[in-house]
Amino acid sequence: MRSSKRYSGTVTGLLLTILLGLEGTSLPAYARPNAQELYESGKNCQAQLFASPKKQKYRIYWERCIKPFDQLRMRYPKSSYLDDSLFHLGELYGGLYRYSGNPKDLALSKASYQNLIKSYPNTQLARQAQSLNALTPPTRTVVKPQVVIEKIRHWTYPDYTRLVLDLNRPVQYRQAQDKDPAALRLILADTQLGRQAQAQLPSLNTDLLRWVSFQSSSPTMVQVIISMEGLVGPPKVAPLSNPDRLVIDLFRKPSVSNSPPLHKNAPSPPQGIALAQPPPTIIQRIVIDPGHGGKDPGAIGRGGLMEKEVVLDIGRRLRNLIEERLGKTVIMTREKDTFIELDDRTLLANSKKADLFISIHANAHPSRSTRGVEIYLLGLSSNREALAVAARENSVSLESAGNLDRTLGQILFDLGRDYKINQSLEFAHTTRLSFGTILRQYDYDVVSLDVKRAPFYVLLNSNMPSILAEVSFISNPKEEQLLRKDRYRQAMAEALFEGLKRYIASIETTS
């Protein structure tokens, strides 16, 4: 390049920037930047662009550097700066193509180099263009979106610890062997650790997690290394969406001092298996979980009724019934129209040492004629329709729900929580029977469907008997109209209450 063609001047540079921004305006000749000013502006812009990988990902920065060289080519076709400008145009369009993959960018790169070789055949720049194979399509660089670990959350309980990595997009990961057999090593591709996550690292050490390390082995890879104490069974790693996150569950057998006495009807747990809290002999705390909320409306009926609104109202009515008639403590996962992540709903119940958990939802189905109420508990899906309901409530695809369904049997075996499932099944059946009784008292002809099982994520890690109630199909026009009525919502709350009351009576009378 020509070192003699250098120009400096802060005032002139500022004016040039302003003038270049006046695209499409008619300027008098004296106000237009000359060839040297255009050349220097483009050259400085290109130097800054090539020094910034971040800027190279955005088309606007490439076009900003192309503009002065292109204006020089059109306005000053006989300028001594034209050969350099053509070379720079070829470089810039070629570089842009590597990121955009747009054939037009490649064609403009070729045209600039061809124009240079044709107009200045015996110059060093022309020979340089040919030696660099400038006319050969440049190899396109595939720019993958970077995954950012935005936040790290963790909860520790007597029998397990959960670590959640909140992400800005789905992540590709693999599990690798570590020289320490008590350590879990995860390799996260195309990932970096965000500032908030970095600040949270010192707070992660617990009695189960001896230490957690996030190592950036390259600018595009993060290794998560977790050293574990008293681990029982393999860790469970699950990618989840809406929002994107990676959930890591670590299980251990709690000490005797941390284990409350087993219910007398509960089977003895297998040796070497991590334990959940056994069902209590007296029910004291109940968690009510109105599904969805905030930015997540849930299912929406044809008349515009939103699931989140219906289930919150029914949940409040159920809370009032429990407090007034049973005197039990009730904990709501949400009291108003707010979004609560699925992880936080169950973990709130665990942290409050709740004795029962009930999640309330309104159902939806592609067929508008489908109607009725359904009660679910955690388990392998009863059928494809049950799996579809779980996929919707988990906010994942049917394929993702199927993956969870396939691994659920092993998860339940590892946790040794058969007695919790048995108690949930009893809770579900008493609730189903109560729906038939209460709805008949209210003169509602609503079908009470069978108890079903499905891989609901909100039930997966509960430490207490848990069910999920689908209170009518909001997709059915008649049931949508019923769900709008206070009397119908009260009937639903009464039915849930009756089932809960019957279950509590069976627990407390057998203790």
Q: What is the CATH number of the domain that holds 102?
A: 1.25.40.10
Convert 303-361 into a string of H (helix), E (strand) and C (coil): CCCEHHHHHHHHHHHHHHHHHHHCCCEEEECCCCCCCCCHHHHHHHHHHCCCCEEEEEE
Same domain for 188 and 43?
A: no
Q: Which of 195-209, 247-261, 425-439 is predicted least confidently? A: 247-261
263 domain residue, yes or no:
no
CA distances from 364 to 67, 170, 299, 389, 390 (A): 54, 27, 6, 8, 11
300 domain residue, yes or no:
yes
Which of 82, 102, 131 terminates a domain? The answer is 131
Cβ count near 182 (within 10 Å): 12
CA-based radius of gyration for the chain: 32
Q: pLDDT grade, residue 291 (50/70/90)?
A: very high
Which of 89, 106, 131 terminates a domain? The answer is 131
**Nearest to 420, CA basis, from 376, 490, 356:** 356
pLDDT of residue 183 exceeding 50, the answer is: yes
With left for phi above 0 and alpha for psi between -120 and 50, is residue 152 left, alpha or beta? beta
111 domain residue, yes or no:
yes
Specify whether the CB–CB gap between 69 and 39 falls below 8 A: yes
Q: Which residue has the higher pLDDT, 264 or 465?
A: 465
Identify the pLDDT of residue 273. Answer: 29
Count: domains in the chain: 3
Same domain for 486 and 402?
A: yes
Same domain for 281 and 378?
A: yes
Same domain for 314 and 391?
A: yes
**Nearest to 377, CA basis, from 267, 318, 310, 458:** 458
pLDDT tens column, 14-61: 334 434 444 444 445 545 688 899 999 999 898 888 878 778 888 889
Residue 109 host element (H or E): helix 103-119
Range of the domain at 464: 276-509
Which of 102, 131, 160 terminates a domain? The answer is 131
266 domain residue, yes or no:
no
Specify whether the CB–CB gap between 281 and 507 falls below 8 A: yes
pLDDT of residue 161 exceeding 50, the answer is: yes
Q: pLDDT grade, residue 135 (50/70/90)?
A: very low
Give the domain CATH number at 345. 3.40.630.40
pTM of the model: 0.55
Give me the sign of the Cα torsion angle 241, 245, 250, 255.
negative
Same domain for 77 and 179?
A: no
Same domain for 346 and 433?
A: yes
262 domain residue, yes or no:
no
Find all residues with CB under 8 Å of 406, minimum gap 6, and list them: none
Q: Return the structure tokens found at 374.
A: 């359904």
Same domain for 280 and 244?
A: no
Residue 263 host element (H or E): none
Query: In whole angstroms, what is the distance from residue 275 CA to residue 277 CA?
Result: 7
368 domain residue, yes or no:
yes
Average pLDDT, the chain: 76
Same domain for 119 and 205?
A: no
Same domain for 66 and 157?
A: no
Same domain for 103 and 183?
A: no
4 domain residue, yes or no:
no
Same domain for 329 and 429?
A: yes
Place of tokens 């550097």: 65
Give the domain CATH number at 170. 2.60.40.3500
Same domain for 127 and 157?
A: no
Query: In whole angstroms, what is the distance from residue 298 CA to residue 337 CA?
Result: 12
2 domain residue, yes or no:
no
Phi/psi of residue 125, nearest 5 degrees: -65, -40
pLDDT of residue 434 exceeding 60, the answer is: yes
